[in-house]
Structure 1
């Protein structure tokens, strides 16, 4: 990973693709995720319905589009330059919990204030599904924090 710090918007969204792919996994048939939402591909939820199927090319396109949307939504809220690892971690977190939740979080506020240890601690609190801590999500948060 590149340790150079750049404005969030200057990182190429493609650098987050491999990490998000690994954490999301690939399913070409719609399924209900742990949050009880219809999901397909690499964690895509918009417009997904029961019985829906896609091919690998569509899954890849959905992922690139979803990551681009996350970057566009987060850009106004990330006020400090970030490393590539921090960029990927932010994208992954927002991909999983929503850009709005990250944008309004104390965790991002700590990162913007260059309080990295507080940001990392806050990161790990995004580990619940329907209010209950989830081991798989906790492990994902730890992997994201390791990038920071």
Structure 2
């Protein structure tokens, strides 16, 4: 399996933050470590090493989805930016996006311009722009464009 670019891992660490105790994310999902959600139970506690392992597994799974969806060549940084996007939003979001459509048409600049549109989450039933998502999408664009 192809490794994840270190800049993409750093981006995800920075965007997610490290939480060794389970918490509810803004969408109400039990989360731990660097944004890990699979099988997390409230009250759970992990070590920093476990958090790092979860991140590597989660980003590898996200990158595998990117590899399935993207039909054009990617640099390691572009793949990493997209893996961060999928890790945060899910493969379904990328799969149905204008971002992916433009990318697969080899419109790399057009694809990069789509990242900033993905900055909303439903909080208490209201579509809300989250500052953390604005910052994350900007970092993903920067990584993607570094290519």
TM-score tier by shorter-chain length is 0.7 to 0.9
Query: Gaps (5+ residues) in structure 2?
Result: none
Q: What is the Cα deviation at residue 14 of structure 1?
A: 5.1
User: In 2, Cα distance between the equivalents of 1:139 and 1:30?
Assistant: 23
Paired position in structure 2 for 1:19: 11
Within-5 A mapping of 1:125-140:
125-130=117-122, 131-140=127-136
Within-5 A mapping of 1:71-90:
71-90=63-82
Aligned residues: 139
Residues 22 and 40 in structure 2, CA contact (< 8 A), matched pair in contact too: yes
| Alpha-carbon displacement from aligned partner over 1:51-99 (angstroms, at most 9, x marks no partner) | 1111111111111111111122221111111122211210111111112
The answer on 1:119 being equivalent to 2:111 is: yes
Paired position in structure 2 for 1:145: 141
Residues 30 and 53 in structure 1, CA contact (< 8 A), matched pair in contact too: yes
1:35 corresponds to which of 24, 27, 42: 27
User: In 1, Cα distance between the equivalents of 2:48 and 2:20?
Assistant: 7
The TM-score normalised by the length of structure 1 is 0.87
The answer on 1:52 being equivalent to 2:44 is: yes
Residues 67 and 95 in structure 1, CA contact (< 8 A), matched pair in contact too: yes
The TM-score normalised by the length of structure 2 is 0.87
User: In 1, Cα distance between the equivalents of 2:62 and 2:130?
Assistant: 23
User: In 1, Cα distance between the equivalents of 2:135 and 2:48?
Assistant: 26
Tell me the SS of whatever aligns to 1:13.
coil
Runs of 4+ off more than 3 Å: none
Query: Gaps (5+ residues) in structure 1?
Result: 1-8
User: In 2, Cα distance between the equivalents of 1:80 and 1:14?
Assistant: 18
Q: What is the Cα deviation at residue 37 of structure 1?
A: 0.8
How well do the aligned residues superpose, as a CA RMSD in angstroms? 1.5
